[in-house]
Amino acid sequence: MSEIPRKAAHRTAKLASLPLGVAGRVVGGWGKRLAGRSSEEVSAEMSAKTAEQVFAVLGQLKGGAMKFGQALSVFEAAVPDELAGPYRDALTKLQTSAPPMPVRTVHRVLAEQLGAAWTKRFSSFDDTPAASASIGQVHRAVWHDGRDVAVKVQYPGADEALQADLKQLLRFSKVFQMMAPGIEVKPLLEELRDRYLEELDYRTEADNQRVFAKAFDGDDRVLVPRVVASSPKVMVTEWIDGTLLSKIIRDGDRTERDLAGQLLAEFHFSAPSRAGLLHADPHPGNFMLGSDGRLRVIDFGAVARLPDGLPKTLGVITRMALEGRSEDMVELFRAERFIRPGMEMQPDDLINYLSPFVEPLRTETFHFTRKWLQCEAERVSDFQNPESQAGRWLNLPPQYLLIHRVTLGATGILCQLDANVQARAIVAKWQPGFDD
């Protein structure tokens, strides 16, 4: 495969195979049960085969299909263990890998973007990709001045594929809903569509990364690589080494897990105040832990622009929830249009729904676990639970949607890490309105 399959009919057929495949396995499962196999055995086999098909298709298509799979991967921690097993390895693999481009295609893109004499810009260039992602792959090279650099090359056809995928995936959101209980997948996908279309021009990403690199220059907790050169389809940045969070999630020790979680939470909450931007693509493939104890952050294609930092309203709401000020919360929620028009929200229902979300702030250190996140996902998705009903009365204004998704994604990573984090101190320092 020389580049992303870009024809809409081809990509639609690939994506359409997902719900058809699931349906076929359901029918086949009934037959196996009639043949005497237990429902547990059949369900486990079906889950494994579904996971294999879903992520094989997403990985082959790259583009928006793969980006959506990466976004969902951080919610894996919310899936009950008996269902998550077959998906876990496939999700982790999807975060960091995809079929690579042929060398001739890479060279063609480099020539188009950096000029016919592009090789003179480098002292050396490794044709074997160091990493592959959704709309581009990364090569290691040495810049002409001797600096080790990472060269991100966009897949030909990525723009057409991204738009085609995100349009088609809206039709199949129910297939992905089963992998993220408690999360409304369709609104998430619609929001992702808008953010991901911004990523197609690497010059925009380069500008974002320059802002982050300047804001965190010399920081002893976070390292953002500097941009060396950029064009619409190629970006060159300083090379950085570290252990991917996906590897720490898989086999990291307690010290690594806690440090990675603490640094990730600090970066998430501090960036809007320090850089005026929020890194909006939280998945473990975009973060590394260096040997110097600093968090490495990459991939700045998707950001939320917050020139005034995180909204003060979120800090006020968080403080009210911690203090159980239900009447004040309902009043503020109505003023900020967090409650759907015409809905009568009982103060006790609202506080009962929101209180568990601020549980990590009730103690000096909170242990983020899969079990905790699974309980929360089950609670908000149980239609028989009055608290779940309260959640369906709420409305998230557009200006808060991306912040909410990033916070959920970062929380998912913390639970995958099984990290102990001093979350209250971080929020108190960086969230406006919390300590006012």
User: What is the model's pLDDT at position 85?
Assistant: 52
pLDDT confidence tier of residue 339, bands split at 50, 70 and 90: confident
Q: How confident is the model at residue 346 (pLDDT cuts 50, 70, 90)?
A: confident
Among 46-50, 129-133, 414-418, which is the least confidently predicted range?
46-50
Q: Which pLDDT score is estimated for 75?
A: 56
pLDDT (average), residues 276-296: 94
- Phi then psi for residue 303, to 5 deg, are -140, 155
Give percent above pLDDT 70 in the chain.
Answer: 66
Average pLDDT, the chain: 79
pLDDT at 33 over 50: no
d(CA 92, CA 69) in angstroms, rounded, equals 10
192-239 pLDDT, tens per residue?
Answer: 667 667 778 899 999 999 999 999 999 999 999 999 999 999 999 999
Lowest average pLDDT, out of 129-133, 146-150, 302-306, 367-371, goes to 129-133
**Which pLDDT value is given to residue 56?**
53
- The residue ranking higher by pLDDT, 167 or 354, is 354
pTM above 0.85, yes or no: no
- Provide the pLDDT for residue 20: 40
What pLDDT was estimated at residue 219?
97
Distance CA 86, CA 204 (A): 37
Percent of the chain with pLDDT over 90: 47
Range of lowest pLDDT (73-82, 198-207, 269-278)? 73-82
Residue 393's pLDDT band, with cuts at 50, 70 and 90, is confident
Give 162-175 pLDDT, tens digit per residue: 676 666 666 656 65
List CB contacts of 241: < 8 A, sequence separation 6 or more. Answer: 288, 290, 291
Q: Assess whether pLDDT exceeds 90 at residue 31.
A: no
Average pLDDT over residues 291-311: 94
| Through-space distance between the first and last CA atoms of the chain, rounded to whole angstroms | 57
